[in-house]
A and B are shown apart, each in its own frame.
Chain A
Amino acid sequence: MAKHKGRGIATIEYPTGMNQNGDPSQAWVKLKPDGRVDVFSGTVDIGQGSRTVHTQIVADTLGVPFDWVTNDNTNTDSSAVCTGSFASRGTFIGGNAVRFAAEQARERILDIASKELEIAPGDLDIVEGEVVAKGAPDRKIGIPEVAAAATWNYGELITGTGAALKPYADVSDDDGSVEIEPHSAISYAACVAEVEVDDETGEVTVERLIQVYDVGRAINPTLVEGQIEGGAMMGLGLGLLEEAYPYYPAPDHRGGEFGAYLAPALEDLPDVDNLIIENPSEDGPFGAKAIGEMANNAQPPAIVSAIYDAVGVWVTQMPATPERVLRALDGEKEPRREGKRVIFDDQLSIRTVSSAGGKGFFETDG
């Protein structure tokens, strides 16, 4: 009876947004007469920071300071349509909607500034809230003056609308297969878990998680980090603690109280090392892809693989509770591989995909 250490790895690729049924986000941007910017979008900020990210996208697209922009996403009745904060679509799809809206408003700003400065719009640029003639930086006009001129002199509202829509998929009448435009950005990630398994109690402790995420452009690295760290603990919960069965899918069987559902607590917190890789997408705002749901996908398989590395048995049902680990240890053991790091087992992987009726992978402890 002893404690064993193991290490496992899992990789994921994660597509952005819904992939079949159309997935629109819309946004509207307008300028106040004093140059401040209002953004109306339907994307709901549930703490992940989409409001901040969208404000950054609009500010950078227009070329104005961040705090000139107010992002009002509080009214679902009058705001532009957004299907919701899910599928890791807030930055990519919602962000594209506000980007397109801001691009349109930017063109209107340049048109008005062009009249005021008598310089063609194509020869103008916007830098930190000022429209500046390319190559002649002393010829310039502030966006507050442009917005005022639009309002009081030209009788115009500087505005822009934007919409991002993932197209509907064609479903084949013959066999129900679906063909889609593969235009969504794919994010990639890997997670290494280091665990300690007590073969007497079945208890698994995650000691360290090393995580690498390719998120395209990290528009707000602190917020991305927040998603990755939060996802690490959610994934740890899914891997070790959070049991939906037998409650799911019958709600009347669910745990009736807080204590009946284990969520990771501070005492479960491992060392977490995160690395963000910026591998820009072609069509996301400023090269952004997605970080959200993908942040809690890689930890459970990495943990289960680390358990295998530690004690030589696969736990085939998650979460890997102490009971399941002990049952797996009581079953037929794989040869122990002390001192070896097993990342990919050829024999096992082949059996996994062709295991109909065979011993092993799909035969669970239950």
Chain B
Amino acid sequence: MRLTVNGEPRDLHSPPLTSLLTALREELEITSPKAGCHQGGCGACTVLVDGEARRSCLLPLAAVDGAAITTLEGLGTSDNLSSVQAAFDEHYAAQCGFCTSGFIMAATALIDRTPKASREDILTALSGHVCRCTGYIKIVSAVEAAAKGDVHPERVEPSFEPEEAEVLIPGSPA
């Protein structure tokens, strides 16, 4: 089977009834989708299939042959976060992190589809996702901020500048 994963064509050799989750994690070693419940109940395995948020634990590989898959790895990097990732960072919307990638993928799909998503839209889109650390409150505020475009993805430069230390090392060339 052939998928486009995070923009790159990939050939997969797992059996056709392998779940997309297992194929991503074990064959492609893409580990941001988490195996929470294996029943579609917790949302931790959510990825985008042709732009739509889907539970990768419930999708047999055969059902997504040819599709474009996006995981958290395909959104942003630590130097260049996507707006939803930046909003999660700013709003402290993750604690242990297990559910985070699922929430970010679902929120990304929502905002792609409904750029000015309301609070009700957000609550509906995220309602199938379970978080046991944050109490959801900061997750909802992060996604609200991302929907309003109220994010600041540029990273703060560290204040440490080692060249400030001008020390002559004894015996070293001047």
A-to-B contact residues, CB < 8 Å: 34-36, 46-49, 65, 67-68, 142, 144-145, 147-149, 152-153, 222-223, 225-226, 229-234, 257-259, 263, 265-267, 269, 272
Contacts and interface: CB of A to CB of B under 8 A. Distances in A.
B162 A65 contact: no
Given A65-B159, A144-B162, A48 B95 contact: yes
A49 B130 CA distance: 20
Interface stretch (B12-20, B67-75, B134-142): B134-142
Nearest to A68: B160
A259 B39 contact: yes
Contacts of A263: 130, 132
B130 A265 contact: yes
B92 A226 contact: yes
Contacts of A267: 123, 127
A34 B135 contact: no
A258 B58 CA distance: 14
B135 A272 contact: yes
Contacts of B95: 46-49, 226, 230
A258 B134 contact: no
Contacts, number: 95
Contacts of B37: 257-259
B7 interface: no
Interface in B124-174: 126-130, 132-138, 140, 158-160, 162, 164-167, 169-170
A233 B41 contact: no
Question: What are the nearest 3 A-B pairs in CB distance?
Answer: A47-B95, A144-B165, A258-B37
Nearest to B41: A258
B127 A230 contact: no
Contact of A47 (B129, B133, B136, B165): B133
A229 to B, nearest CB: 4
A39 B63 CA distance: 50
Contact of A259 (B41, B135, B165): B41
